[in-house]
Structure 1
Amino acid sequence: MTSAMPSPPTGATPDTSHQPARAGAQQWAALGALTLAVILLAVDGTVLALAMPALTADLGATSTEVLWIGDAYSFALAGLLISMGTVADRIGRRRLLLIGVAGFGSASLLAAFAPTAGWLIAARVLLGVAGATLMPSTLSIVRNLFTDPVQRTRAIAVWSAGASGGAALGPLVGGVLLEYYWWGSVFVINLPIMALVLISVALLVPESRNPTAARFDLVSAALSVAAIVPLVWAVKHTAQNGVDQAGLLAAALSVGAALVFVRRQRTLRTPLVDVTLFARPAFTGTILVSLITIFAFSGLLFFFSQYLQLVRGHSPLQAGLREMPATLASIAVVVVAVRVIGRLGVGRALAAALLVAAAGLGVLAMAEDAPGYAALASGLILVGLGIGMAFTASTDAILSAVPRERAGAASAISEMSYELGVALGIALLGTLHIAVYRAGLPDLSGLTGPTREAVTDSLAAGTQALSGTGGQGVQVLAAARDAFAHGMQITSVIAAVLLVVSALIAWKAIPSGRRS
């Protein structure tokens, strides 16, 4: 973004004689249907964290498989979002959204009845492919429905509340389902909601597309996947296995594909990605801030639900209820987002939001080793407020800087940074957490071979293996819980530092001109 003030689309002549058309009841009703789709996607991205202990026991998943189950969804999303954003611009955003909704429901069925961890990972990849058609479609439709800058900011705040609130709502939904049903129910619940989204979008959302869209460039699409997917795999592989030939080759493939991709985009009349946008410090800064923010947020919260169950001893429902403060705080941001952004400007509002979230993570780091719930709740409220506002401000900053006909591609870049941050956050912070956990384990030589392997692999597997044992087993389990909590503290502090760095980037790189 080059300015916090609304500006005419690139290449367009400003029209000073007419104010942008204000949205009416139909547009706001359509926003409700779009937000419902986003809420479901966001819930699906976090609901599984609460089910990890149950599915680990049922499927016999290893710690590596657990990370892949969490990462596969974002892995596929990050690789396809750029391509799908352009497809949406070309064939119609509403049409692609309807296709994606149907595909998401079908993939949910495959995930719900997965007999093995490998099957579940594959189903999560399919969910990511379907999700890649939904996210850029919903956001670009919002950009086209709301042309008035103030209304657009408010609409984006509602959309962002669906994304951040849905992510925080996932543990509660999962807790209710897991209290009465098996872990696959967290996927089955997608089907009736997707049916409602399908009907609502078909009835309320108008079709929109880029009337001057060029033919879809398959080569560019393949290069974008080749630039992103091997990078995520290389980071994940190196974090778990150290530097080796396989990781270096994957990283080299990613870099090579990225260079060829950028060179090709510069020669195309209608590129898949307008790489010249990244020459603007404000645009690049916003994308970088989004990436760092979600990296810190997702990498920590992936294990937080497990912490509440395995360390604090709460049931899935109790754990979900205890994560509610973050949900409510992120939704409450809608009430104040427009006023705060208007008063501070996008850059300062985004920086302040990230500092609030960093403070919340600092509180969580201290509270994870302390008795009681009040401190945890305080930290969650701060995190929810900060992340909710940050999502709204960063999304608004990106969409305000592009013409309406390129909204699909621009929102795809925004969502790619989001999903890439999720994948890298779980891979790196998740791997770091596991390493700290294993380093903090006591001497396990007195345990049998299978039990020792289970405790070393993960706390979830160790809890199952040590349940019902006495003597040394009780002591080992207590020490393992302490090691898990210590790992959460370390990752919380690192995540907080990352958010402070992200706030500094936002303050320096993103303009903060006030809006009327």
Structure 2
Amino acid sequence: MNRIDDELRSWLGLLVVLGPVLLVAMDGSVLFLAMPAITGALAPSADESLWILDSYGFAVGSLLIAFGAVGDRYGRKRLLMIGAAMFGLGSVGAAFATSPELLIVFRVLMGVAGATLLPSALAVLGTLFTDPRRRARAIGIFAATFAAGFAIGPIVAGQLLTRFWWGSVLLINVPVVVAFLVLAPILLGEVRATGGGRIDVASVVTSSAGLLTAMYAVKHSAAQGIAMSSVAAGLAGVALLGWFGRRQGRIGNPLIDFTLFRNPVFAIAIVTGFLPLAAWSATAYLAAVYLQSVLGMSIADAALLAVPGALVLTVAAVVTPAVVARIGYSAALITAHFTIALGLSLLLPTGTGGGAGWYIAATVVAGIGYGISFSVVADIAVAAVPAERAGAAAALAETGNELGNALGIALFGSLAAVLFRIHGPDLAPTLGETLRLPGLVSAQLDDARGAFVSGLHVVAATAAIVHVVLGAVAVRVLRSSTRGSDAASASRPRDALPSRS
């Protein structure tokens, strides 16, 4: 009887943990469909629009590793409780923001809170499920939930925006946060690593500052053109990140253990966690604008078109562990890259006169690869290290996802902004701002929409080429290790990767 109660308690604990996981993933994409409404209400500039979208992802990605280590040392449940409360408060503040600057500030607060939730949530699964098979199943459900959150974010937003104002897409976080704060103390036990080292504050500061200054340079150059200030910021960001990387090899308790990347399967997996999110976030955001501002669809119709791809992505994440047991991690990683590349290429036939069908086909095909990447990366990351370092390892995998989400919008979104500025009617820096100008003639509207679609095509083609290249690299690098590491991973997942004692 006690065994049944313990098992039930474990699965109930998993359900409680999945609530914040779903929210953190959804909030990486929930504003995609809401951006036209936010633009109309708050009138952000071109670079403010990009910051609204990716300040959240930057905050999550730049602090995940640090908070993974904090949770290992000071307690994962405690960090989960604090982070959930902060996430709820940030959501309320963002929902009622009255200016772009205020919205960005609260999105950053939500990102900081999100960084406390993901690594601890995944690490807690190791304490809830001691049986390896049940733990693997729980990790698969975790990965599927995370994948589903990214996918359904725009869909949920579309349903809410047809009935309420744009802030409603953020207020939906509050009831889930309240339920977690009530149930977590009952179902989750406190866990911390023994003998963990102190958090290196200098590494936290330099990694975060380096990312933010480098991305500021990219975004400012895309919106305003290259200037000395943006060049200086870019150089400073690169220097800070370089110093951070060197410091990790010199200190005793680094935020990132780069020796893990000596294993080719692990290295390709982490890149696989980063690149698909970069491509997905950029094309999902641009496609949401395309459907509404170019094809003239309503929010509800645009959200409906995202449903098939979201379903395929979620199913792919769920079934991937079973598939991996047959074909191995290496084949799964390679399949993910080539499938995503094929899906992205299906966006190229879209045009100003139509393309909804191509959009659906693109999201369905690419969704297979996205689902594989979400599932495989989480599994490898947790299997790579001893249990007491699970928080830091999980943080490294989730950092790739979140930085991919933020950097995808920053880099690919900036590329699209540059192309619009070059090829558009030169009336405003973005399509949304152009469409709001009074007295536009049809020729100017056609030029603006055509320039935006050209930018979407270049972004999709560039991302597809990068995926093909990385897929080819994966074939070459993983060929020699496929038999040994995959056979081990199928029977004993931890043996497929280097472990630390």
Taking structure 2 as the reference length, the TM-score comes to 0.89
- Is residue 497 of structure 1 aligned with residue 465 of structure 2? yes
- Is residue 463 of structure 1 aligned with residue 412 of structure 2? no
2:452 corresponds in structure 1 to 484
- Is residue 52 of structure 1 aligned with residue 35 of structure 2? yes
CA contact (8 A) 2:269 2:376 kept: no
Q: Are the structure 2 counterparts of residues 230 and 475 from structure 1 closer, same or farther at C-alpha, using a change threshold of 3 Å?
A: closer
2:256 corresponds in structure 1 to 273
* Alpha-carbon distance in structure 2 between the residues aligned to 1:290 and 1:375: 25
Q: Which amino acid aligns with 2:25?
A: A
Q: Are the structure 2 counterparts of residues 360 and 265 from structure 1 closer, same or farther at C-alpha, using a change threshold of 3 Å?
A: closer
SS at match of 1:366: coil
- Is residue 327 of structure 1 aligned with residue 310 of structure 2? yes
CA contact (8 A) 1:358 1:500 kept: yes
- Is residue 215 of structure 1 aligned with residue 183 of structure 2? no
How far is 1:508 from its partner? 3.7
* Alpha-carbon distance in structure 2 between the residues aligned to 1:486 and 1:262: 37
Q: Are the structure 2 counterparts of residues 347 and 179 from structure 1 closer, same or farther at C-alpha, using a change threshold of 3 Å?
A: same
2:122 corresponds in structure 1 to 139
Aligned to 1:289, which of 272, 275, 297? 272
Equivalence map 1:44-443=2 (5 Å): 44-241=27-224, 243-368=226-351, 371=354, 373-442=356-425
* Alpha-carbon distance in structure 2 between the residues aligned to 1:232 and 1:260: 17
CA contact (8 A) 2:64 2:395 kept: yes
CA contact (8 A) 1:82 1:224 kept: no
CA contact (8 A) 2:119 2:394 kept: yes
Q: Which amino acid aligns with 1:293?
A: P
Q: Are the structure 2 counterparts of residues 252 and 372 from structure 1 closer, same or farther at C-alpha, using a change threshold of 3 Å?
A: closer
| Cα distance per residue 1:278-301 (max 9 Å; x no partner) | 343333332223222222221211
How far is 1:36 from its partner? 2.0
* Alpha-carbon distance in structure 2 between the residues aligned to 1:147 and 1:249: 51
Q: Which has the higher contact order (CA 8 A, sep 6+)?
A: 1
Q: Are the structure 2 counterparts of residues 253 and 431 from structure 1 closer, same or farther at C-alpha, using a change threshold of 3 Å?
A: closer
Q: Are the structure 2 counterparts of residues 233 and 153 from structure 1 closer, same or farther at C-alpha, using a change threshold of 3 Å?
A: farther
Q: 5+ unaligned residues in a row in structure 1: which ranges?
A: 1-22, 445-451
Q: Are the structure 2 counterparts of residues 508 and 411 from structure 1 closer, same or farther at C-alpha, using a change threshold of 3 Å?
A: farther
- Is residue 24 of structure 1 aligned with residue 7 of structure 2? yes
How far is 1:58 from its partner? 1.1
How far is 1:147 from its partner? 4.8
CA contact (8 A) 2:147 2:317 kept: no
CA contact (8 A) 2:144 2:317 kept: yes
* Alpha-carbon distance in structure 2 between the residues aligned to 1:368 and 1:150: 48
1:12 corresponds in structure 2 to none
Q: Are the structure 2 counterparts of residues 360 and 135 from structure 1 closer, same or farther at C-alpha, using a change threshold of 3 Å?
A: same
* Alpha-carbon distance in structure 2 between the residues aligned to 1:146 and 1:254: 41
Q: Which amino acid aligns with 1:397?
A: I
How far is 1:173 from its partner? 1.0
* Alpha-carbon distance in structure 1 between the residues aligned to 2:337 and 2:247: 35
How far is 1:500 from its partner? 1.7
Q: Are the structure 2 counterparts of residues 210 and 104 from structure 1 closer, same or farther at C-alpha, using a change threshold of 3 Å?
A: same
Q: Which amino acid aligns with 1:217?
A: D
* Alpha-carbon distance in structure 1 between the residues aligned to 2:32 and 2:442: 25
* Alpha-carbon distance in structure 1 between the residues aligned to 2:466 and 2:188: 38
| Cα distance per residue 1:87-133 (max 9 Å; x no partner) | 01011111101110100010111111111111111111111111111
Q: Which amino acid aligns with 1:408?
A: G
| Cα distance per residue 1:441-484 (max 9 Å; x no partner) | 35x7xxxxxxx3xxx22222222335xx6xx6234223322322
CA contact (8 A) 1:174 1:317 kept: no
Q: Are the structure 2 counterparts of residues 62 and 503 from structure 1 closer, same or farther at C-alpha, using a change threshold of 3 Å?
A: same
Q: Are the structure 2 counterparts of residues 171 and 213 from structure 1 closer, same or farther at C-alpha, using a change threshold of 3 Å?
A: same
Q: Are the structure 2 counterparts of residues 506 and 375 from structure 1 closer, same or farther at C-alpha, using a change threshold of 3 Å?
A: same
How far is 1:148 from its partner? 4.6
Q: Are the structure 2 counterparts of residues 355 and 145 from structure 1 closer, same or farther at C-alpha, using a change threshold of 3 Å?
A: farther
How far is 1:499 from its partner? 1.8
* Alpha-carbon distance in structure 2 between the residues aligned to 1:267 and 1:436: 42
| Cα distance per residue 1:374-412 (max 9 Å; x no partner) | 332222111222101111112212221111111111111
How far is 1:370 from its partner? 6.4
Q: Which amino acid aligns with 1:270?
A: N
- Is residue 506 of structure 1 aligned with residue 469 of structure 2? no
* Alpha-carbon distance in structure 2 between the residues aligned to 1:389 and 1:417: 15
2:499 corresponds in structure 1 to none
* Alpha-carbon distance in structure 2 between the residues aligned to 1:80 and 1:177: 30
SS at match of 1:326: helix
How far is 1:37 from its partner? 1.3
Q: Are the structure 2 counterparts of residues 461 and 262 from structure 1 closer, same or farther at C-alpha, using a change threshold of 3 Å?
A: closer
Q: Are the structure 2 counterparts of residues 505 and 200 from structure 1 closer, same or farther at C-alpha, using a change threshold of 3 Å?
A: farther
Comparing 87-96 with 285-294, which one deviates more in the overlay?
Answer: 285-294
| Cα distance per residue 1:196-241 (max 9 Å; x no partner) | 2323333322222112212333233223323433333333334445
How far is 1:433 from its partner? 1.2
SS at match of 2:162: helix
Q: Which amino acid aligns with 2:463?
A: A
* Alpha-carbon distance in structure 2 between the residues aligned to 1:33 and 1:500: 38
Q: Are the structure 2 counterparts of residues 136 and 508 from structure 1 closer, same or farther at C-alpha, using a change threshold of 3 Å?
A: farther
Q: How many residues align?
A: 479
* Alpha-carbon distance in structure 1 between the residues aligned to 2:8 and 2:52: 41
SS at match of 2:83: helix
* Alpha-carbon distance in structure 2 between the residues aligned to 1:203 and 1:306: 43
Q: Are the structure 2 counterparts of residues 334 and 388 from structure 1 closer, same or farther at C-alpha, using a change threshold of 3 Å?
A: closer
| Cα distance per residue 1:243-267 (max 9 Å; x no partner) | 5443443344334434443444444
CA contact (8 A) 2:88 2:173 kept: yes
